[in-house]
Amino acid sequence: MTEIRARYLVETALNLEACAEAIAGEQSSGTFVAVPGEDAALRARARARVVAIEEIDGTDAPSLPGGRAMGGPVRRGYVEIAWPFANVGASLPNLMSTVAGNLFELREISGLKIMDIALPPPFFETHAGPAFGVAGTRRISGVERRPLIGTIVKPSVGLSIEATADLVSGLAEAGIDFIKDDELQGDSPSSPFADRVRAVMDVLRRHADRTGKRVLYAFNITGEVDEMRWRHDLVEREGGTCVMVSINSVGLAGVISLARHSRLIIHGHRNGWGALSRHPVLGWSYVAWQKFWRLAGVDHLHVNGLQNKFCESDESVLVSARACLTPMSPAKPAVAMPVFSSGQTVRQVADTWSQMGSSDLIFAAGGGVLGHPDGTRAGVEALQQAWDAAIAGVPVARHAAQHPPLARALAAFDGA
Amino acid sequence: MTEIRARYLVETALNLEACAEAIAGEQSSGTFVAVPGEDAALRARARARVVAIEEIDGTDAPSLPGGRAMGGPVRRGYVEIAWPFANVGASLPNLMSTVAGNLFELREISGLKIMDIALPPPFFETHAGPAFGVAGTRRISGVERRPLIGTIVKPSVGLSIEATADLVSGLAEAGIDFIKDDELQGDSPSSPFADRVRAVMDVLRRHADRTGKRVLYAFNITGEVDEMRWRHDLVEREGGTCVMVSINSVGLAGVISLARHSRLIIHGHRNGWGALSRHPVLGWSYVAWQKFWRLAGVDHLHVNGLQNKFCESDESVLVSARACLTPMSPAKPAVAMPVFSSGQTVRQVADTWSQMGSSDLIFAAGGGVLGHPDGTRAGVEALQQAWDAAIAGVPVARHAAQHPPLARALAAFDGA
């Protein structure tokens, strides 16, 4: 394949053929009037082409305002568009401008969602993809044949450096695999980044010396490009192994720049994602969107969690998580480790295991660990016990009968 | 003010007070269960507070899926939230994670749009804002007391380097002030960036030597961080004065990084904006969103145009354009020059002038110049004549009687 392809869900008052041609024209050689130079030769080499059209259903009222011929019934369907690689090159930011760009504003549509993209080989040659991914994360953490069990420092913001270090100490002693800063905790007057890294790594280095276990801590380095590099280097010097970035807040060029510099695991937090995805026919599907970040070099990608505290359905979460683990190309699988997080407790463990059929994931519970009625240690143990049960195929209630922390967690997080 | 504030339009099946508290909690010290450490002292220093609530109306059906208690009537209103500055610091990416973050995914809402933000002084001390803005753009272009009249190279992609240079030559001779690459044209096999810059700047340098007029050309440098710096430096070495970035495709950290490096005017293209804004109660208002990019250092910001080819209303376009020209703080106005573009022709000139009441803008017509039936020169002249008429208060039809290019353009773009 020497083309770039994108598949869209569209809603339009036009027929789907006309809508697809409007998309292909706007995003390649066309504009709203004929101009000199857009001759047959130019169109042959540069115009995007409509590959496929599949009408699925219709609806009585347009989903979004601003479309042409509003008020009447509209059609919905999938359209697939192909661009010559020579229009774009292997640049991820320019790819984004080409497959998305102005399309959401077209009057020809009253809904458009990018469902998937397919890329030709130069993208896989130009971009390294995740440097660690699943295999590297397992190697560094020493966790095999089960998910990494993790937590998020809570309260999200406001905790002093000393209280953060104390919390991390208790979590490490309880046997946690992974801890992350909350995405609200960057480098702030209330928790200066360098102080936090030194205090936390002091705890985790001593823990590793004593036990041999290296707890992964994802320090939130979100910031400007040079700040992120500086923070990455500080984490590395202090013996840390993982940095976290709010990828929507930083953006594609900043994340690529960090990844090209990075020697640590990059944990990608997706906050802001809801603006791009919550409407059923506007924005991005996770399947299309995560491909950009994996090629950019992100090792872990948040996918929300089952029965989460937000609005996303379990079905959607599972599609996202499986997408992260699906190879992008034979030459460059670029697999990222999905991170289940948001309102997660012992109650979602069995379903997560049975639905995913893979332990290549991070299961991160913030309140679901730290909110355990018997404290942090019991919170970590309960989660470990829930995963032991799930992987052994033992019903969680039965396992809980022999494991008080799990029993207490099941009671405490009942319907939370 | 030592707080960060954000104002939201929300839609919720809860009462607005409960919804506002959910927002304040999720984006500061709260999570879905109580955790140790979130004591009164921590809440006092770190919890966001609800400043104001204003109920405006209700609706029978929720706008977005996934909210709690779906199916019933919902309320709409504005809520204003304030965060302690110490939670965040003066970082724009972390500000974005704080004021937006996970909010769009809350089950407590069936709609949320960020309407505006207000920032304390450290943001204005940390961020330079536009280095050129309106005054710098006028100084470099030599255009005073009227808008910069501009165009976009069309066809957007597929034009050879030679054809691009020829087009630019004709536009310069016709007296154009400003030319930009299309956002689809980055650095591609079909139009390698360095070749394009050398060919275009060769034309524009000779034009400046001959006439004294420096035509601004916004070269699309969208790409990775180091690529953008390299391309910026090439444009500068070749005597160029302006670079263009697709700011949504590059992201905040990448744009800040470019701006801290840049010695040229930064032209910000907003493609991708529709995904963040087209739904009435999801995503971002332009008023809130443009503040990030102005502080980041973008000099020109696209605002669409009146009677544009896309779906946006004139009222919305005008709010956006006026926002760019509204000072952000007395100490750091950070004013950006609004760029009117998209389906613009001689027909929108009089309204643009009368509605804006300011000539501090760029009026960019691609097809509206290059699609003139008598060619490029007539296209530029027609646009200049339309602006002469508008500023002189002469009806465009009367002016056209004495100016054939304008008359021909009015006929050609009738209802385009």
Domains in chain B with CATH codes: 3-126 (3.30.70.150), 133-412 (3.20.20.110)
Rounded Cα–Cα distance for residues A137 and B225 (Å): 27
In 3D, which of A294, A298, A198, A209 has the Cα closest to residue A245? Answer: A298
| Omega cis (within 30) before B155 | yes
Instruction: State the average pLDDT over residues B102-107.
Output: 95
- The tens place of each residue's pLDDT in chain A, 416 residues long, gives 689 999 999 999 999 999 999 999 999 998 778 888 889 999 999 999 999 999 999 988 899 998 876 567 899 999 999 999 999 999 999 999 999 999 999 999 999 999 999 999 999 999 999 999 999 999 999 999 999 999 999 999 999 999 999 999 999 999 999 999 999 999 999 999 999 999 999 999 999 999 999 999 999 999 999 999 999 999 999 999 999 999 999 999 999 999 999 999 999 999 999 999 999 999 999 999 999 999 999 999 999 999 998 999 999 999 999 999 999 999 999 999 999 999 999 999 999 999 999 999 999 999 999 999 999 999 999 999 999 999 999 999 999 999 999 999 999 998 64
Distance in Å, alpha carbon of B92 to nearest chain A alpha carbon: 7
Assess contact for A83 and A4: CB atoms under 8 A: yes
Distances (CA, A) of A62 to A13, A73, B160, B279: 8, 7, 40, 12
Instruction: State the average pLDDT over residues B309-335.
Output: 96
Distances (CA, A) of B309 to A98, B52, B313: 18, 38, 10
Interchain contact, A100 vs B311, CB within 8 Å: no
Round the average pLDDT of chain B to a whole number and report it: 96
Interchain contact, A366 vs B189, CB within 8 Å: no
A402 Cβ neighbours under 8 A, 6+ residues apart: none
Please tell me whether residue B57 adopts helix, strand or coil conformation: strand
Interchain contact, B31 vs A273, CB within 8 Å: no
Q: Of B84, B106, B253, which is closest to A224 when you measure between CB atoms? A: B253
Put simply, whether A2 touches B (Cβ < 8 Å) is: no
Tokens coding A171: 């979590």
pTM, 2 dp: 0.97
- Which pLDDT belongs to residue A34? 81
Search chain A and give the residue with CA nearest B256: A224
Amino acid at B399: H
Distance in Å, alpha carbon of B88 to nearest chain A alpha carbon: 5
Q: Is A307 exposed, middle or buried (0-12, 13-18, 19+ CB in 10 A)?
A: middle
Q: Which residues of B touch A45 (CB under 8 A)?
A: 158, 190
- Report phi then psi at B298, rounded to 5: -80, 130
Instruction: State the average pLDDT over residues B173-192.
Output: 96
In 3D, which of B338, B331, B335 has the Cα closest to residue B357? Answer: B338
- Which pLDDT belongs to residue A30? 83
How many residues in chain B? Answer: 416
Interchain contact, B275 vs A284, CB within 8 Å: yes
pLDDT at B170 over 80: yes
Longest dimension (CA), chain B: 79
Interchain contact, B187 vs A31, CB within 8 Å: no
- Report phi then psi at B144, rounded to 5: -125, 150
Residue to mutate among B14, B103, B164, B271, with most A CBs inside 10 A, is B271
Rounded Cα–Cα distance for residues A230 and A194 (Å): 10
Put simply, whether B310 touches A (Cβ < 8 Å) is: yes
Residues 112-151 of A with CB under 8 A from B: none
- Residue tagged 């691609």 (tokens): B366
Distances (CA, A) of B215 to A397, B95, B140, B143, B212: 74, 37, 9, 10, 10
Q: Which residues of B touch A312 (CB under 8 A)?
A: 66, 105
Q: Which helix (H) or strand (E) holds B41?
A: helix B40-46
Instruction: State the average pLDDT over residues B279-303.
Output: 98
Assess contact for B114 and B99: CB atoms under 8 A: yes
ipTM of the complex: 0.97
Alpha helices in B212-325 (DSSP H): 225-237, 247-250, 252-261, 273-277, 286-296, 314-324
Put simply, whether A170 touches B (Cβ < 8 Å) is: no
Q: Which residues of A touch B163 (CB under 8 A)?
A: 37
Distance in Å, alpha carbon of A10 to nearest chain B alpha carbon: 13
- Residue tagged 């399947």 (tokens): A287
Tokens coding A355: 């639905």
Rounded Cα–Cα distance for residues A350 and A364 (Å): 14
Distances (CA, A) of A390 to A299, A355, B326: 25, 11, 58
Interchain contact, A67 vs B274, CB within 8 Å: no
Tokens coding B287: 């008023």
Q: Measured between alpha carbons, how far apart are the two ends of chain B, in Å? A: 49
Distance in Å, alpha carbon of A56 to nearest chain B alpha carbon: 20
- Report phi then psi at A378, rounded to 5: -65, -35
Q: Which residues of B touch A64 (CB under 8 A)?
A: 278-279, 311
Amino acid at A312: E
Give the DSSP letter of residue B104: G
Residue to mutate among A19, A28, A88, A105, with most B CBs inside 10 A, is A105
- Which pLDDT belongs to residue B30? 83
Q: Which residues of B touch A87 (CB under 8 A)?
A: 157-158, 184, 188, 190
Instruction: State the average pLDDT over residues B111-116.
Output: 98
In whole angstroms, how large is the CA radius of gyration of chain A? 23
- A/B interface, count of CB pairs below 8 Å: 380
- Which pLDDT belongs to residue A35? 84
Amino acid at A243: V
Distance in Å, alpha carbon of A66 to nearest chain B alpha carbon: 4
Q: Of A29, A228, A257, which is closest to B156 when you measure between CB atoms? A: A29
Assess contact for A366 and A345: CB atoms under 8 A: no
Put simply, whether B354 touches A (Cβ < 8 Å) is: no
Distance in Å, alpha carbon of A7 to nearest chain B alpha carbon: 16
In 3D, which of A304, A303, A306 has the Cα closest to residue A294? Answer: A303
Rounded Cα–Cα distance for residues B95 and A97 (Å): 25
Q: Is A32 exposed, middle or buried (0-12, 13-18, 19+ CB in 10 A)?
A: buried
Put simply, whether B341 touches A (Cβ < 8 Å) is: no
Rounded Cα–Cα distance for residues B157 and A386 (Å): 56
A43 Cβ neighbours under 8 A, 6+ residues apart: A29, B158
Tokens coding A69: 């011929």
Interchain contact, B31 vs A154, CB within 8 Å: yes
- Which pLDDT belongs to residue A70? 59
Distance in Å, alpha carbon of A213 to nearest chain B alpha carbon: 26
Q: Which residues of A touch B295 (CB under 8 A)?
A: none
Tokens coding B163: 């054809």
Assess contact for A163 and B45: CB atoms under 8 A: no
- Which pLDDT belongs to residue A316? 97
- Which pLDDT belongs to residue A66? 85
The residues facing B111 across adjacent strands are B11
- Which pLDDT belongs to residue B37? 85
- Residue tagged 């809402």 (tokens): B109
CA-CA-CA-CA torsion sign (B389, B394, B397, B400): negative
Residues 211-270 of A with CB under 8 A from B: 222-228, 246, 248-257, 260
Rounded Cα–Cα distance for residues B30 and B164 (Å): 56
Residues 87-106 of B with CB under 8 A from A: 87-89, 91-94, 96-98, 100-106
Q: Which residues of B touch A66 (CB under 8 A)?
A: 278, 310-313
CA torsion A391→A393→A395→A396, rounded to 10°? -10
Q: Which helix (H) or strand (E) holds B370?
A: helix B367-370
Residues 265-294 of B with CB under 8 A from A: 271-276, 278-280, 282-284
Tokens coding B17: 């007070």
Rounded Cα–Cα distance for residues A183 and A178 (Å): 15
Tokens coding B28: 């500061």
- Which pLDDT belongs to residue A193? 98
Search chain A and give the residue with CA nearest B292: A249
Residue to mutate among B31, B195, B312, with most A CBs inside 10 A, is B31
- Which pLDDT belongs to residue B1? 63
Longest dimension (CA), chain A: 79
Q: Which residues of A touch B228 (CB under 8 A)?
A: 253
How many residues in chain A? Answer: 416
**Half-sphere exposure at residue B261, Cβ-oriented, CA atoms within 13 angstroms:** 20
In whole angstroms, how large is the CA radius of gyration of chain B? 23
SS3 labels along chain A: CCEEEEEEEEEECCCHHHHHHHHHHHCCCCCCCCCCCCCHHHHHHHCCEEEEEEEEEEECCCCCCCCCCCCCCEEEEEEEEEEEHHHHCCCHHHHHHHHCHHHHHECCCCEEEEEEEECCHHHHHHCCCCCCHHHHHHHHHCCCCCCEEEEECCCCCCCCHHHHHHHHHHHHHCCCCEEECCCCCCCECCECHHHHHHHHHHHHHHHHHHHCCCCEEEEECCCCHHHHHHHHHHHHHCCCCEEEEEHHHHCHHHHHHHHHHCCCEEEEECCCHHHHHCCCCEEECHHHHHHHHHHHCCCEEECCCCCCCECCCHHHHHHHHHHHCCCCCCCCCCCCEEEEECCCCHHHHHHHHHHHCCCCCEEECCHHHHCCCCCHHHHHHHHHHHHHHHHHCCCHHHHHHHCHHHHHHHHHCCCC
Interchain contact, B154 vs A37, CB within 8 Å: yes
Residue to mutate among A10, A222, A311, with most B CBs inside 10 A, is A311
